[in-house]
Amino acid sequence: MLDFSIISELQIPKIDLSNIEWPRFDLSRIRWSQIPKLRIGDSVAKLPIVQGGMGVGISLSGLASAVANEGGIGVIAANSIGMLDPDYYARHRDANVVALRKEIRKAKEKTSGIIGVNIMVAVTDFHALLMVAIEEKVDMVFLGAGLPIKGIPVEELRSARVKVVPIVSSARAAGLIFRSWLKKYKDIPDGVVVEGPKAGGHLGFKEDQIDDPDFALERILPDVVAEIKTYEDKFRRAIPVIAAGGVFTGADIYNLFKLGASGVQMGTRFVGTHECDADIRFKESYISCREGDIEIIKSPVGMPGRAIGNKFLKDVSSGEKKGIKCAWKCLKSCDITNAPYCISLALDNARKGVLEKGFAFAGSNAFRIDEIISVKELLQELQKQYLCAEEKGAGRLRSEYEKALEKLVSLKEEYLIGVSSLKDEYEMGIEKGIATLREEYLRSMDKIRSLKTKYVKAVDDANFLKKELIELFERYSLFNRLNTEEI
């Protein structure tokens, strides 16, 4: 007999929906309206905005202290700062050291906020300027125009609590600096500025990369963030990535934060402030320029640069050689015999407003500046725009989230329906299975029964035949015997 108890023992799978965690977020606990602070080592800026160092003499103690007073990070540009001294050509490199020390002290008198110094690795007195920053205990140094790897006095920097922030234009450069520091100094820098090709001043890109979308800030920033992340994990220390180049509005800041930036560095916008240390004619050249006036130049430093085109630059590019008075080859890579002009002198002239004998470095957005405002106004405007962008972003996020929740609810319902119909089908399936099996069994039993009848009948027939045969045989034998006896 078939055993149907096996089938009834089969278990219907039990899925306990109460065990499934459906995400529940409390949106009301998220604070949407606050611009994030920027922490670099032990310095915390109320605003995540670094005023980019601008040489020669564009960002000195005036601009840097104004930015620091408003909660940003103010930066004094150190390169050729000695040109402020009328005796520069007599005192050259010493003038730089003296002027930098003086500007740092002046800035510190005007603010208790965060002050940094920007030093180009490419300048001949890089080390001497770095030592001044250490001795004057500035909060941090921003090191660009070259890789700050060799001869960095890390111990002195650490004991003076001066944070180090290299400026790079690629994840590769960032990786190289961090790897080398780790190997050489068993330490890593405290942050990174990643400067994209829309920036003003010297650019860390080849000319054909400047307009290539693959090198846009929005492309290189996430790569730098990813590169730095490995060091953050290893050292269990936050290393902010600060985005620079073409940052103009608070919405730009918001968008860069979405791509992983923890802060921004801005130069061009700070030129359009009352506090910027350049002559008013320098600032006015920003206000009067149009988009098409901003051009890429070949700097004697050996890097491309972005500036507002003028007669001086036109003369130079058509082959004219300007008078050069070189004090002491202030730039390591400057080929003074072949250079058509002295870049430090041209920039210093521009700072003084003598644009016929120089030119203004400027970011690609300089043409958008149409008035000079205070640093306070600028930073308030940027914050307002940031919060507005964040609110819009948050609104978008909230509606996306709500849509996702609705979808989740309908998915849950679908799932529940699915599971219960599966259960029904399964049970039905089993019942159907049993029923089919039972029918088959009964059919087989009928078949067997008819077969048995047929067989029994066949056996009966055979027995009958056998009996008849025996009788026949017996009758035949008797007949034979009788006949023989008669013969």
Residues in contact with ligand FMN by CB under 6 A are 52-55, 58, 77, 79, 118, 120, 144-145, 167, 195, 198-201, 244-247, 265-268, 361-363, 365
By beta-carbon proximity to ligand FMN, the closer residue of 43 and 285 is 285
Least distance CB 267 / ligand FMN (angstroms): 2
Distances (CA, A) of 264 to 37, 304, 324, 399: 11, 22, 36, 28
By beta-carbon proximity to ligand FMN, the closer residue of 85 and 391 is 85
Peptide bond into 117 cis (omega under 30): no
Least distance CB 104 / ligand FMN (angstroms): 16
By beta-carbon proximity to ligand FMN, the closer residue of 148 and 186 is 148
Distances (CA, A) of 315 to 34, 304, 347, 357, 359: 49, 17, 16, 11, 12
Distances (CA, A) of 131 to 89, 98, 243, 338, 340: 22, 12, 27, 32, 32
Q: List CB contacts of 374: < 8 A, sequence separation 6 or more.
A: 66, 273, 274, 275
Q: List CB contacts of 412: < 8 A, sequence separation 6 or more.
A: 22
Least distance CB 18 / ligand FMN (angstroms): 55
CA 398 to chain centre: 22
By beta-carbon proximity to ligand FMN, the closer residue of 165 and 435 is 165
By beta-carbon proximity to ligand FMN, the closer residue of 79 and 299 is 79
Please answer whether residues 352 and 244 qualify as being in contact, where contact means their C-beta atoms are separated by less than 8 angstroms.
no
| Nearest C-alpha neighbor of 100 from the set 114, 118, 86 | 118
| Nearest C-alpha neighbor of 261 from the set 209, 231, 203, 217 | 217
Please answer whether residues 170 and 220 qualify as being in contact, where contact means their C-beta atoms are separated by less than 8 angstroms.
yes
| Nearest C-alpha neighbor of 344 from the set 355, 354, 329 | 329
Please answer whether residues 191 and 40 qualify as being in contact, where contact means their C-beta atoms are separated by less than 8 angstroms.
yes
Cβ-in-10-Å burial (0-12, 13-18, 19+) of 322 comes to: middle
Least distance CB 198 / ligand FMN (angstroms): 6
Least distance CB 167 / ligand FMN (angstroms): 5
| Nearest C-alpha neighbor of 199 from the set 305, 276, 283 | 305
**Quick one: tokens of 141?**
């140094």
Which DSSP category does 123 fall into? B
Least distance CB 206 / ligand FMN (angstroms): 18
Least distance CB 319 / ligand FMN (angstroms): 25
By beta-carbon proximity to ligand FMN, the closer residue of 181 and 286 is 286
Least distance CB 74 / ligand FMN (angstroms): 12
By beta-carbon proximity to ligand FMN, the closer residue of 268 and 383 is 268
By beta-carbon proximity to ligand FMN, the closer residue of 9 and 370 is 370
Alpha-carbon distance of 265 to 40, in angstroms, equals 13
By beta-carbon proximity to ligand FMN, the closer residue of 168 and 389 is 168
By beta-carbon proximity to ligand FMN, the closer residue of 54 and 330 is 54
Least distance CB 182 / ligand FMN (angstroms): 24
Please answer whether residues 164 and 152 qualify as being in contact, where contact means their C-beta atoms are separated by less than 8 angstroms.
yes
Least distance CB 77 / ligand FMN (angstroms): 4
By beta-carbon proximity to ligand FMN, the closer residue of 71 and 363 is 363
**Strands 43-45 and 38-40: what pairing?**
antiparallel
317 — phi, psi (to 5°)? -75, -20
**Quick one: tokens of 12?**
């219907």
Least distance CB 193 / ligand FMN (angstroms): 7
By beta-carbon proximity to ligand FMN, the closer residue of 162 and 362 is 362
Least distance CB 25 / ligand FMN (angstroms): 36
371 — phi, psi (to 5°)? -160, 160
**Quick one: tokens of 203?**
């650019």
Least distance CB 122 / ligand FMN (angstroms): 10
**Quick one: tokens of 252?**
């730009």
